[in-house]
Each structure stands twice: as C-alpha cells, then as structure tokens.
Amino acid sequence: MDHSLTALSSRWRWSTFLVSAMILAEFFPLSQQLSYDYYDNVCPQAERTVRASISSNLAGDPTAAAALLRLAFHDCQVGGCDASIMLNSQGGITSEMVASKNFGIRRLNLIDNAKAAVDSQCGPGRVSCADIIAMAGRDAVVFAGGPDFRIPMGRLDSTFASNAAADSSLPPTTISVDNFLNLFGSMGMSTEESVAIMGGGHTLGVGHCVNIVNRLYPNTESTLSFVYATRLRVSCPSSDPRFIINATTVQNDFSSLQFDNQYFREATMGLGLFTIDAALASDARTSPIVARFSQNQISFFNAFASAYAKLTSFNVLTGNRGEVRNNCRFVN
C-alpha cells in the first residue's frame, strides 16, 4: 500500500493523542531510578532532539518506522532495554545482530545519528543509547500515526552482548498463547496490554516467509482459509531453505506503513499473518480483546502506550549497573 510523505507528515501532526505520566503511573509504578524528568537538568532537550533526528530520517524512509519499533522490541526482550543489540562483536562480545532471530533488524544507523545529535547539543556521557532506542521506538509509532505518550528515562547501557542470549530470549512467531501471556505478564503487563503490544509490533512493516512457511507446508494450517493460504503461497512459494531468503516478505497487514488497528481487524477476519496472530484471535482469553481493539482504535492506543512503557522499563540497568556509552557500537 502506497502512502505519500505528505500523508505521513500529516499523520505525525494529527497524532496528538497524549497519555500523561499521571495516567501511566496509575497502571505502572515506576522504578525509583527511572523518571519522567530524568534529563531536565542534564539535557533538557534530549527527547525533542532525538525526535527531530528520527523524524527527519523517517521522512526519507517511512518503512524505517517499523524497523525502529522492532529494534526497540528486540533490545528490550533480551536482558532488558540496555542497547546490547547495538554492540559490535569485539573481545568477549558476540553481537546480537548475528543471532538468527535478529535477521531483518536494520537502521541501527538512525540510533547512531540521534546519539550524535544529542551529544552535540548536551555533550557526551549524558544520554544513553538505551534511552535513545526506547525514544526512537515511541517516536516511530507517532510518526506512523499512532499515539504520542511519555516514557520514563534513565536507562543505562550494557557492557556485554550475546547472540546466544538473543536467540534464547526472543519469542518465535509460533509461541503459544499460554507462553505469550506468561512472557509479557512477567513484565507486569495485563492480558489487554499483552495483546496490545503484540498488535503494535505487528501492525507496522512486513513478515518474513521463513516465519510463515510453517503454516503452509507440507500441509495448510487449519486456521488458514483457502483464499488467504493461496495468497501467502504466491509470496512464499516454497519451504525449501534454499529458496527462502530473508528479503522475501509479506505485509503484516494491509496498512503496513500506518500504526493503526488494521492488524486486529484482519485478525478477526482470519487474516492473522503469524501463528500467534491467529491464536490470539481464537483463544477465549484474548479474542474478546482482539475484537474490541478491531472496533476501538483509541482503546488499543491506550493499552499500547501503557504496555510500551512497561516493556521499555522492565529489568533495565540503573545506578552503578551499566554506563552511558560514548559510541553506541562499543563499550567505553
């Protein structure tokens, strides 16, 4: 689906749906070491500077919004939001980017650009790469037409990364509803928030055939309609690894450049792309939420904002556990 830059910019201005810190705090008691005013004294323009850098880059590549949101998700689900995903292999560090579950992760350079911009304004050693990733994921949502909301700051950067940790921590698209709810429940999310964070992660961008062929071959998954399965086979014509490359993709939903509730609408029609998408639409615990979100976008936006704050604040490094990197790709 084509979207003009004018339309995308308009959605950026249109997205004035603000979730206040007071409302978020009602659902999510913050760590004593994360706060909404963390940068007020050391770099008061930090969030504005990061957003300006991110938005200028997204204007030239609207598909990067999905990439930045996925980057935040993949960083935060491996040991917490600590920018470990940015570290290059060096010494005892093996980059998380070589993990099989991180294929397709891209546009890390946009984090580097935002880091350079904020360091130029406030000086090095003040704004962490981890906070920039969390901001960038939120700002990507706003740019794509989603809600604008505040998240607490004060995450520190890790001094270690492991590709093995990434592969063991990142959930597969075939995760069961039980394991899905347990995973996000461990981060303090309600069932509603868990469904919202999944929908938010899948409403932007594309899915890779390698994560879809299990539904098509050797036999078609029973939850797939004949028409939808046929459509997917056109994009993913084989399960043979020799013919599946990471560049082979399918849109997550019809409006894959826009952050909206289209994912839920399609899920209720049996058009969920991944196994977990179909499962959430049919499981008795989650299907009423999927149905509600398909009809009420503001309800989805509210739940996603709360869920994203929890995701990006879970198990973070603070105090003397971590550092503020001078270069996001290397420890100091």
Q: Which residues, including other chains, have CB under 8 Å from residue 173's CB and lie 6 or more apart?
A: 207, 211, 212, 274, 275, 276
Let me know if 3 is a catalytic residue: no
| Residue located via tokens 């469904």 | 195
DSSP conformation letters of 135-196: HHHHHHHHHTT--EE---B---B-S---HHHHHHHSPPTT--HHHHHHHHHTTT--HHHHHH
CA distances from 87 to 117, 129, 156, 328 (A): 19, 10, 14, 7
| Candidates 3, 74, 202, 208; catalytic one | 74
Amino acid at 58: L
Distance, CA of 131 to CA of 155 (rounded, Å): 6
DSSP conformation letters of 248-266: -EEESSTTTTS-SSHHHHH
Q: How many CB atoms lie within 10 A of CB 197?
A: 21
- Angle formed at CA 71 by CA 171 and CA 61, multiple of 5 degrees: 135
Burial of 73 (0-12, 13-18, 19+ CB in 10 A): buried
CA distances from 185 to 118, 219, 288, 306, 310 (A): 34, 33, 18, 13, 10
Q: Which residues are catalytic?
A: 74
